[in-house]
Chains A and B, each alone.
Chain A
Amino acid sequence: MTVDRRWRISLRVLALGYLALLLLVPVGLIFFRTFEHGVGGVWESITTPAAIHAFQLTLEVTAIAVPLNTLFGIVMAIALARGDWRGKGIVNAVIDLPFAISPVVIGLSLILVYGVNGWLGGALADAGVQVIFSVPGIVLATIFVSLPFVVREVTPVLREIGDEQEQAAATLGAGGWTTFRRITLPAIRWGVAYGVVLSVARCIGEFGAVSVVSGKISGETETLTLLVEKRFANFDLAGAYAASALLALIALGTLLAMTMIKPRREEGDA
């Protein structure tokens, strides 16, 4: 249907207006407020020891969670797309759960298992391992929330491509591992890349679950997002804005990566 010009303009204005008020203006304002009083203060604000540690911790946790979930994601995607087994429905539902559950509930669930009074917490404490209010807890929470991304991105790619190339490789003499390494993996690499980017963004941005399990001990179990909240609670608005601006910058970088990778997902482009 060709919409006439007046309608088209009005719809466009409505849509863009909504987006501007909801999306663009707020984010733009963060950067404005951050740099309102000059760049110097901002730099100091994000290079305090607490801030540096928060940044490092966030990256550390991400660097553990993402590769693990990527490995899981690829293996599970192959099993879902190529395998023939019962229970796919249940597995799919469980994989989707991290999307649908409140982060606070996720945090609680980890406390109930790994906390001192939790199912495994007691035994772990005896072995000298502290999970809750310590970095391992943050890692577990982050793994939980970022679990589905790679699986969800790679499975449709595998389905789309089909397994003829893999059959061809078999007829040419390639065994299972060689076929995976030289045929399957290259074919899904952009799907994996996109999933990784989404996972990284999710890991860096996690707040609710980490809020519950970390204990927010500055310099130890405080991630970047927790830092923002703490500064706000302490009326250090400038500090909160500065950390937020850093996170927003990372988010924009994520968006850029997403935009570049998105079109390449389907075909195994060279």
Chain B
Amino acid sequence: MSATSAPLAPAPRPLAAAPARPAWRSSGALGLGIATLWLSIIVLLPLSAVVARSLDGGLGEFWDAVSSRQALAALRFTVLVSLATAAINVVGGTLIAWVLVRDQFPGKRIVNALIDLPFALPTIVAGLTLLTLYGPRSPFGIDIAFTQGAVLLALLFVTLPFVIRSVQPVLIELDHEMEEAALSLGARNLTIFRRIVLPNLVPAILSGAALAFARAVGEFGSIVLISGNVPFDTQVSSVYVFKLIESDAPVSAAAVSTVLLLVSLAVLIGIRGLGHWGARHDR
């Protein structure tokens, strides 16, 4: 029996727009619609209000608000301390991730679980504990409350997991054979780390650092107690915005917030870009 050519003319059908998912089509579209509506109402609507209201007094007032001495000082301090946080996390986070993946010691699993503590602990509690430990009633005698160092400390606490959790899976997946090949070619440990391991970790480290930076820029609860919020000294932008809200200056608050929003957006886009860059060698 051989293949028969069609005796009847086949009824032509329009090109399908997308591969049919037979059972999902209509209900899927409805679900997506509702979910997007939710997303818009909860997130987009309020955020667009910030941007819109910041321009309530026109561009001039917007510029005045974001370039006032106090606003600039707060922004400068915020960005610098957040960069420092990210930088310290790059080193510390990679180190801790390394130890957690490559080393063995009793209690490692507990330590690994505790890394997520800053995610689980309310920021105000974090602030209080740090104040207790490194403030006026410190059992160590170390009192750094109301200093810029205190802000850095608080930020290091809340951003601890980011780089670690970003690097760990990459380290686990890392192809041991690459390192073994390097060994067989005569490379020493430090060289292997520098030229084989580290380059493969860089995208993960950077994206973790970017997340840490974004978190640090916006952090409020852990800083509020320990920093003393001294304007021009230890005041971060989020606290400055809070003060503006309290002094009933919503437009100025919105203006400074818009700047912070732009910083966040830039970081988010950067992270997505990093994701693509990092995956370019995956085969």
Which chain A residues have a beta carbon within 8 Å of chain B's beta carbons?
Answer: 1-4, 7-8, 11-12, 14-16, 18-19, 22-27, 29-30, 33, 68, 72, 75-76, 78-79, 82-85, 89, 91-113, 117-119, 140, 143-144, 147, 163, 166, 170, 174-177, 179, 198, 201, 204-208, 211-212, 224-225, 228-229, 232, 240-241, 244, 247-248, 251-252, 254-256, 258-259
Bound-complex Cα distance A252 to B272 (A): 32
Closest CB of chain A to B120's CB: distance in Å? 4
Q: Is B59 an interface residue (CB 8 A)?
A: no
**Is A205 touching B218 in the complex (CB atoms < 8 A)?**
no
Q: Which of A75, A106, A259 contacts B34 (CB 8 A)?
A: A75
Does B132 contact A15, Cβ atoms closer than 8 Å?
A: no
A8, A84, A251: the one within 8 Å of B103 (CB)? A8
With A208-B220, A208-B221 known as contacts, the answer to whether A109 contacts B42 (CB < 8 A) is no
B139 to A140, Cβ gap below 8 A? Answer: no
B residues less than 8 Å from A7 (CB atoms)? 189
Contact status B254-A108, CB under 8 Å: yes
**A92 to B225 CA separation, bound complex (whole angstroms):** 34
Seen from chain B, the residues whose Cβ lies within 8 Å of a Cβ on chain A are 18-19, 21-24, 27-28, 31-32, 34-36, 38-39, 42-47, 49-50, 53, 92, 95-96, 98-100, 102-103, 105, 111, 113-126, 128-130, 132-133, 139, 153, 156-157, 160, 179, 182-183, 189, 192-193, 197, 211, 214-215, 217-221, 224-225, 237-239, 241-242, 245, 250, 253-254, 257, 260-261, 264-265, 267-269, 272
B interface, over-half SS: helix
Q: In whole angstroms, what is the CA distance A36 to B250 when docked?
A: 44
User: By the criterion CB–CB under 8 Å, are B96 and A101 in contact?
Assistant: no
B220 & A103 in contact (Cβ 8 Å cutoff): yes
Q: A102-B219, A140-B42 are in contact. Are A251 and B120 (CB under 8 A)?
A: yes
The reply to whether B116 and A258 form a contact with Cβ atoms under 8 Å apart is yes
B252 to chain A, nearest CB (A): 11
- Residues of A within 8 Å of B117, CB to CB, are 23, 27, 251-252, 255
Please state if A94 and B44 are interface contacts (CB–CB under 8 Å). yes
Contacts of A24 in B (CB 8 A): 114
Assembly CA distance A106 to B102 (angstroms):
40
Q: Indicate if the CB atoms of B220 and A79 lie closer than 8 Å.
A: no
- Check if A82 sits within 8 Å of B21, measured CB to CB: yes
Residue of B115, B250, B269 with highest tally of chain A CB at under 10 A? B250
Min CB gap B82→A, angstroms: 11
Q: A108-B254, A118-B49, A207-B122 known; A102 and B95 CB under 8 Å? A: no
Query: Are A176 and B160 in contact, with the CB atoms below 8 A?
Result: no
Whether B189 contacts A105 by the Cβ 8 Å rule is no
CA of A247 to CA of B117 in the docked complex: distance in angstroms?
Answer: 12
A119 to B192, CA, bound (A): 59
Check A23 against B269 for contact (C-beta < 8 Å). Answer: no
Q: List 9 A-B contacts (CB under 8 A).
A: A19-B115, A75-B32, A99-B211, A101-B264, A102-B260, A105-B241, A108-B257, A112-B46, A119-B45
Q: Looking at chain A's contact residues, is the secondary structure mostly helix, strand, loop, or mixed?
A: helix
CA A30 – CA B124 in complex, angstroms? 12
User: What CA separation (Å) do A104 and B229 show in the bound complex?
Assistant: 15
Pairwise interchain contact A207-B123, C-beta atoms closer than 8 A: yes
Q: Are A78 and B31 in contact (CB under 8 A)?
A: yes
Please name all residues of chain A whose beta carbon is closer than 8 Å to the beta carbon of B189 when the two chains form the complex: 1-4, 7
Q: List 12 other contacts, CB 8 Å, given A170-B23, A251-B120.
A: A29-B139, A82-B21, A93-B268, A93-B269, A101-B264, A119-B45, A143-B42, A144-B46, A147-B43, A225-B221, A229-B224, A251-B122
Contact flag A84-B18 (CB < 8 Å), given A207-B123, A259-B113: yes
| Bound-complex Cα distance A157 to B96 (A) | 27
Q: Is the CB of B179 within 8 A of A100?
A: no
The answer, among B22, B35, B211, B238, for a CB contact under 8 Å with A102, is B238
Which 4 pairs show the lowest CB-CB distances between chains A and B? A102-B218, A205-B122, A109-B46, A208-B220
Question: Is A95 in contact with B39, judged by CB distance below 8 angstroms?
Answer: yes
Query: B49 contacts A18, CB within 8 Å?
Result: no
Q: Check B160 against A75 for contact (C-beta < 8 Å).
A: no
Residues of B within 8 A of A163 (CB): 21
> What residue of chain B has the Cβ atom nearest to residue A257's Cβ?
B120
**What is the CA–CA distance of A205 and B128 in the complex, to the nearest angstrom?**
13
Contact yes or no, A29 B132, CB < 8 A? yes
A residues less than 8 Å from B197 (CB atoms): 1
CB-CB under 8 A from B182, the residues of chain A are 1
* Cα distance, A261 to B79, chains bound together (Å): 36
User: Which residue of A12, A26, A112, A143 contacts B99 across the interface (Cβ within 8 Å)?
Assistant: A12
Nearest chain A residue, comparing its CB with the CB of B21: A82
Q: Are A91 and B39 in touch, CB under 8 angstroms?
A: yes
B121 touches A205 (CB 8 A): yes
* Pairwise interchain contact A33-B132, C-beta atoms closer than 8 A: yes
List B contacts of A75 (CB < 8 A): 31-32, 34-35
Determine whether the beta carbon of B267 is less than 8 Å from that of A240: no
Residue of B nearest to A98 (CB): B43
